Amino acid sequence: MGDGRATAASAAPLTGAAPPPRSRWARFARFAIVGASGMPVDYAVFILVKSLGLVGQWSLGPLDLLHANMVSVAVAIQNNFLWNRVWTFRDRRGNPLAEQWLRFNLASLSTWLLNNLIVGALDGPLSRWLPAIVLGSTVGVYVAKAIAIGVCMAVNYVLSTRVAFR
């Protein structure tokens, strides 16, 4: 202690960074906050790509929705990786950045696919069994997207703690 070396606990206040979470609930709360920061990124890119018709040249009608969703989720995944590495899992930086990025993106691929399946199902085949006022209109697409984000957050947390930032 008196040898002038800084410990991890004493260095945190000097850098302005929050100390690593002490419990699973604290880590999950940070993960949820990071996910919440990814949600406006996801929605903004989704709305931009969909409204500008940027995917129209590659898709066939109904696939415009899924292509816009794929692009927006991919951008949100990169946002979430950055903030999860810097804040949520900062105490798990033992592996190189590129390795964690690759594992995070591979883990996120499953939730990306799940997200698209949920959006496609809730806006397509399942929409006839759900109230038309919720999922039978343009507003329904955004409700389907919100449901997909919620389900995928839980799956992604498990994959992040066990695969990406182990």
Residue for token pair 């040898």: 3
Residue 27 covered by a domain:
no
Residue 63 covered by a domain:
yes
Cα separation, 34 vs 20, in Å, equals 14
Cα separation, 166 vs 159, in Å, equals 9
How many domains in the chain?
A: 1
Cα separation, 38 vs 36, in Å, equals 5
pLDDT tens per residue across span 124-155: 666 655 555 454 454 567 778 888 888 988 99
Q: What is the pLDDT along the chain (166 residues), one digit of tens a residue?
A: 444 444 444 444 444 555 556 788 899 999 999 988 988 998 899 888 887 766 555 554 555 777 787 888 889 999 999 999 999 998 887 788 999 999 999 999 888 889 888 888 877 666 655 555 454 454 567 778 888 888 988 999 999 999 999 8
What pLDDT is stored for residue 8 in this prediction? 45
Residue 50 covered by a domain:
yes
What pLDDT is stored for residue 5 in this prediction? 46
Residue 29 covered by a domain:
no
Q: What is the CA 52 to chain-centroid distance, rounded?
A: 23
Residue 49 burial (CB count, 10 A): 20
Residue 113 covered by a domain:
yes
| Full domain range(s) for residue 155 | 37-164
Which candidate, 81, 63, 72, places its Cα nearest to that of 145? 72
Residue 4 covered by a domain:
no
